[in-house]
């Protein structure tokens, strides 16, 4: 039947178009289309975490640290750490062509990534509690412990471009 043949051709042509669209390679570094909004959200979230941690360290360098401020910053880090997991939907790694330092290991080892973010959640909560005690040495030690969780995750899951 002629009509059937024609519609099959149309379907075949449409499929070919879809396949071509799927297989078009996106070289790393080039744009893979509009970046999902979550990329900016997670970038901003980490920047805020970084700024809060800097503020904590800045206080600890002072003769009389503001422990209330340290506790507040630790609380901010704690709230933000709880968002980390939700900021990494599939298809947003550096290998997907986006401007990001998120390594594919995040999706290859989801349990480890979850555990790494949980460590920051736990250590920042501890920091907030210890800051309430006002003992500079104890707060300093806990700030260091919390900093170790940043490095622990970055070493495994963040692209190191500082070589
Ligand atoms: C569970 C893993 C994990 C933990 C814990 C973690 N980070 Fe990150 N961090 C990442 C990843 C992954 C990126 C790269 C994000 C991207 O480029 O999309 C990143 C990026 C950053 C950036 C750069 C911002 C950006 O997106 O370019 C800063 C600053 C940063 N982290 C600071 C910290 C600090 C400070 C801590 C600890 C207080 C911390 N991070 C804890 C995984 C983590």
Q: Are 82 and 121 in contact (CB under 8 A)?
A: yes
Ligand 1 pocket mutation pick from 157, 158, 162 by most atoms within 8 angstroms of CB:
158
CATH of the domain at 115: 1.20.120.10
Distance 102 CA to ligand 1 centre (A): 9
At 79-124, the pLDDT tens digits run 999 999 999 999 999 999 999 999 999 999 999 999 999 999 999 9
Q: How many domains does the chain have?
A: 1
Domain boundaries, position 59: 47-157
How many whole angstroms separate alpha carbon 72 and alpha carbon 64?
16
Ligand 1 neighbours, Cβ below 6 Å, are 42-43, 46-47, 49-50, 53, 77, 84, 100-102, 113, 116-117, 120, 146, 149-150, 153-154, 157-158
Lowest mean pLDDT among 23-27, 67-71, 74-78: 23-27
How many whole angstroms separate alpha carbon 27 and alpha carbon 12?
28
Is 57 domain-assigned?
yes
Is 67 domain-assigned?
yes
Is 2 domain-assigned?
no
Is 104 domain-assigned?
yes
Is 162 domain-assigned?
no
Distance 123 CA to ligand 1 centre (A): 15
- Confidence tier at 160 by pLDDT (50, 70, 90): confident
Query: For ligand 1, what atom is nearest to the CA of residue 47?
Result: 29
pTM recorded for the entire structure: 0.83
At 121-158, the pLDDT tens digits run 999 999 999 999 999 999 999 999 999 999 999 999 99
Beta bridge partners of 102: 158
């Amino acid at each position: 039947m002629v009509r059937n043949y024609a519609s099959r051709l149309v379907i075949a042509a449409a499929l070919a178009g879809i396949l071509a669209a799927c297989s078009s390679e996106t070289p790393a570094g080039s744009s893979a289309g509009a970046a999902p909004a979550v990329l900016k959200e997670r970038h901003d979230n980490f920047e805020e975490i970084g700024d809060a941690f800097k503020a904590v360290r800045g206080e600890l360098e002072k003769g009389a640290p503001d422990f209330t401020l340290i506790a507040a910053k630790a609380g901010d880090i704690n709230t933000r750490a709880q968002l980390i997991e939700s900021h990494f939907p599939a298809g947003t790694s550096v290998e997907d062509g986006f401007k990001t330092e998120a390594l594919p290991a995040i999706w290859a080892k989801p349990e480890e990534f979850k555990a790494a973010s949980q460590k920051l959640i736990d250590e920042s909560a501890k920091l907030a509690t210890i800051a309430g005690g006002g003992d500079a040495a104890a707060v300093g030690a806990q700030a260091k412990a919390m900093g170790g969780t940043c490095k622990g995750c970055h070493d495994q899951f963040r692209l190191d471009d500082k070589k």
